[in-house]
Structure 1
Amino acid sequence: MSIIPRLNRFDLTMIVISLVIGMGIFANPSEVAVRAGSTWIFFGAWLFGGLVTLCGALTFAEIGARYPHTGGFYKVFSYCYHPAFAFMINWVLVISNAASVAVVAIIGANYINPVLLPPDWQSPLYVQIVAVVSVLILYALAFLGIKVSARTQNLLTLFKVLAILVLCGAVFMHDDTHMIVKGLPNNGNIITALGLSLVPIFFTYGGYQQTINFGGDIIEPKRNIPKAIGVGIGVVIFLYLSINFTYYKVLGLGGLQQTTTLAATMAGVIFGSIGSKIASVLMFVSVLAYINVNVMSNPRVYYAMSEDGILPYIFRKVNPKTQVQEFGVTFFVLCILVVLFFADSFRKMLDYVMFFDTIGLSLAALSIFILRKRTKQLDGTGIYTIKWFPLVPVIFILSYWFVTLNIFWANPGAAFVCLGVFALGLAIYYLSVYLNKGKIPTK
């Protein structure tokens, strides 16, 4: 049973926003402040990151319009390059996305436990229990259907956006006595400070590329994917710049550098203990939205891999009534639950995620040049096309390569490990080809 489109433009816009706004904006500005070392580099990096993200969003909007397929982030590599290369880039998502969701679930449980449970129930065991229960509730909702998951996502996302706007209102209530100590300078040069600051910024802005995984779920994808990505990223950039300005005005650069629980700290400074609890609830809602959208998105990549014959047929089996890949969703949730029991060990692995992302996203964006040649027949049919082509994708690609080089320079060991993981994916692909006796389509 193939996937039938059920999601409209508003659904996809909410998915875009939730794919991007996870826990990063409530913690990563602290890391950016440390790496930037000055106010103007801090805000300059966020502005530049927003510009680059907009360029990436416009690029992926055209990719999604020209090649709307279920599991699109895998499919575009398979179509433009080769299925082997597609698997090499995407296979690590099976592990890293599950690990990312698990760690975020633990963080969310740490925030909500003091609000929900008595003081003597604040052990790591109860944190794990709350995290597991949160994942299982969203897993159960996923089985009710893709449309139910989308409506849940819409509600969680709207609440999260409203809560961020409320937090931003703190900027009108602060006075200079709220400012924490002066910031510590960065000891490196300006270029290095900017490059290293962009690593957590691009991670915080990332996620929107998964939108093209829903190509088969969207009604009128050639029109709705570009518009949803454009509106969604516009909302995200506005919210990110607003809340960073609020962080700075309330906490100062030094306050940003000294705490990673930014929203709760800021709310506590302005509103006291009640404000801190409200912020904790906000964090948990953000976590639920992040878990839910990943449970929706990642199985679609499995669907695309199964279409190419790399994964068994059962991964693309869809319930005709609910449009849910029941086995694919169950597999992804099981991966999350397994990681939850080793969350502390997997935290270090997440340090490598940005290296995977910079390579994967830049190469995916590069495919727009190939797609334009292979889909010339779509020109003039009303589909979205980038106005300032090729400048827009080139800005995005070069910026991500700049960050990749900074990661390699700062942590060459991590870079070599990641390249090794890519190579392992290539080996797994050809092993799968051998085991399937050459049934996988070739280019």
Structure 2
Amino acid sequence: MQNNSGKNNQLRLFDLTMIVVGLVIGMGIFRTATDAASASLTPTIYFSAWIAGGIIALCGALTYAEIGSRYPVTGGYYKIFAACYHPSVAFAINCIILISNAASLSGVALIGSEYLSQLIFDEPASDLVKSLIAMSAIMVFYFVNLAGLRMSSQTQNILMLIKILMVLVLISALFFPGADPSSLPPSSIPPSSIPPSSLIYSFGVALIAVSFTYGGYQQTINFGEEVKDARKNLPRGIVIGILMIIGLYLLVQMAYVHSIGFEALKSTRGIAAVVAEKMFGPTGKTIFTLLLFLAVLAYVNVLLLSNPRVMYAMSKDGILPGMFAKTDEKRGVLTVSLTVFAAICIIVLFFANTFEKILGFTIFLDSIGMATSAATIFILRKRTKHLDGTGIYTMKWYPVLPLVFMIAYTFVGISIAINTPVLALTGLAVFAVFLGIYFLVVRKSKGIKHS
């Protein structure tokens, strides 16, 4: 009876597809278009970056689908590093992924604060004020989680539906009158007069913001054993979900350019609210902003809920000290892990108090995590040859797809290093520090489990 019940509770294809869409369509789509546009010398580069981002995501999705099929365990994204690399590398990469997740949470909180500050203040708020609003949102949900309170799954689902509805509202702007051509800034210079090196550089910097917006789908690998017929439904759900997202994202970009104009988009803050105001007036802008801030709070809550559990699992595996597994049994709260993760979010906001800085830092760390996690497919293929021909998912065009994905994220990392070398050096320093911590502290701990 227990087994049957477990099977009935497993995720089906539709469930998994919606999870993919929910993981990827975060808050970035309401902000990163400005960063991508400001980096793009021409509209062609802008839209090419969004198309390329979708293709890269699809290559990654198919790669992670096979990784999930060959290594279908709950917590797979965290565990593949420990399974395939030296414990020191696994420790350092998993730690920087946690730092990246904290930076991502901080970045999303800043997106919410940028929108909310437009309603609160008549004049544009300073970076410090927006940072303080973001910190306040994080602290509120830190104490909510610390008290053992839980935002119900129903509430989360409602907020997810609201977020999808907001995306559809933005797309509907295509059917409203566009920006007045006479009021638009001069058009971009023609591509023929731009040196190829400048075009490549522009494309690479635009891809940084696009990569942030497409991120999240790799986490579906964590559902390995929770998916019904995982070997078939895992790849199908990921691919269908990514294709849906590519279509939605391209339509949203078209709506932004249609409503605001490409050149004006480069300097527009609160782009989604501006589009809503053009469609429905000041009231529409206010309602849209408040709904978006609610969705931001939901995202903050989810990351504060999920990431301490990753730290707990790492502690149980001996990768992090035992104190990270400390649990308040009465309230069911991972007190140490929750506190440390929330503190990292606040520290990131303190040192990188603008979305642009957090974006570069997050994606640089993500570039390391994405490239190294995708590379595990080469190791897993060798180790699991016995599974070939047994019905597991095996991607077509191997090894081209994982190589394209890894090269793309290497290119993004190099673009960040060229554009903002300080952020890249900071990311490398963080990675080096965690390697040092492993050899100086973790390796000496008794009970560490080597893979």
Q: How would you bin the TM-score normalised by the shorter chain?
A: 0.7 to 0.9
Larger mean CA deviation between 220-229 and 383-392 belongs to: 220-229
Ranges in structure 2 where 5+ consecutive residues have no aligned partner = 1-5
| 1:142 to 1:209, Cα distance in 2 relative to 1, 3 A | farther
1:291-339 deviation line (CA, Å, top 9, x unaligned): 2442344234324422431223454578999998576445434544666
1:4-24 deviation line (CA, Å, top 9, x unaligned): 996624554444323322232
Aligned match for 1:47, one of 48, 51, 62: 51
- Letter matched to residue 106 of structure 2: A
- Letter matched to residue 45 of structure 2: I
Aligned match for 2:156, one of 138, 153, 156: 153
Distance 2:358 2:35 in 1: 17
1:233-266 deviation line (CA, Å, top 9, x unaligned): 2222121111001111111111211213211111
- Letter matched to residue 127 of structure 1: I
Write out aligned runs for 1:105-184 (5 A). 105-112=109-116, 124=129, 127=133, 131-132=137-138, 135-136=141-142, 139=145, 144=150, 150-177=153-180, 180-184=184-188
| 1:132 to 1:70, Cα distance in 2 relative to 1, 3 A | same
**Equivalent residue number for residue 440 of structure 1:** 448
Write out aligned runs for 1:19-30 (5 A). 19-30=23-34
Q: Percent identity?
A: 44
Is the 1:174–1:250 contact (alpha carbons within 8 Å) kept by the matching residues of 2?
yes
Is the 2:212–2:363 contact (alpha carbons within 8 Å) kept by the matching residues of 1?
yes
Determine whether 1:265 maps to 2:274.
yes
Distance 1:345 1:241 in 2: 26
1:115-166 deviation line (CA, Å, top 9, x unaligned): 6x7989x99498358614752587379854xxx7554433322221122111
Q: Quote how far apart the aligned CAs of 1:28 are.
A: 1.4
1:158-204 deviation line (CA, Å, top 9, x unaligned): 22112211121011011452763234448662222222221111122
3-state secondary structure, aligned to 2:26: coil
- Letter matched to residue 238 of structure 1: G
TM-score under structure 2 normalisation?
0.83
Is the 2:145–2:333 contact (alpha carbons within 8 Å) kept by the matching residues of 1?
no
Is the 1:247–1:256 contact (alpha carbons within 8 Å) kept by the matching residues of 2?
yes
Is the 2:259–2:275 contact (alpha carbons within 8 Å) kept by the matching residues of 1?
yes
Distance 2:144 2:86 in 1: 35
Distance 2:112 2:260 in 1: 23
Write out aligned runs for 1:408-423 (5 A). 408-423=417-432
| 1:295 to 1:183, Cα distance in 2 relative to 1, 3 A | farther
1:36-82 deviation line (CA, Å, top 9, x unaligned): 21111111121111111111111112112221334322211111112
Is the 1:21–1:204 contact (alpha carbons within 8 Å) kept by the matching residues of 2?
yes
Distance 1:225 1:149 in 2: 26
Distance 2:385 2:203 in 1: 38
Distance 1:321 1:53 in 2: 42
Larger mean CA deviation between 103-112 and 26-35 belongs to: 103-112
Distance 1:373 1:314 in 2: 36
**Equivalent residue number for residue 399 of structure 1:** 408
TM-score under structure 1 normalisation?
0.84
Is the 2:116–2:289 contact (alpha carbons within 8 Å) kept by the matching residues of 1?
yes
Aligned match for 1:98, one of 95, 102, 106: 102
Determine whether 1:209 maps to 2:218.
yes
3-state secondary structure, aligned to 1:272: helix
Determine whether 1:33 maps to 2:37.
yes
1:367-400 deviation line (CA, Å, top 9, x unaligned): 1111111122332333322122222212211222
Ranges in structure 1 where 5+ consecutive residues have no aligned partner = none
